[in-house]
Amino acid sequence: MNKWLELLIGLVLIIGPIYLVMTPTFVSWAAATLAVIKGGIVLMLIMIGLGLFFTGISDLKE
């Protein structure tokens, strides 16, 4: 794909949702989005911790 098209699509995908959350009709989406992000951060930290734990166990076996 053309690099300029990739950059344009990337900008649209970054700026578009931010604009939609800021408009008055979609304000309620902002709270739901933040809740999903907070839950995702917790799950991401748990998964990273599990990965490091199992990597440590694997290193101990060697």
CA 32 to each of CA 1, 12, 17, 57: distance values in angstroms, whole numbers, following the listed order: 34, 21, 13, 38
Reading the block at residue 31, the tokens are 């709270």
This prediction has a pTM of 0.53
pLDDT tens, 7-61? 889 899 889 888 877 777 777 777 888 888 888 998 999 999 999 998 888 888 7
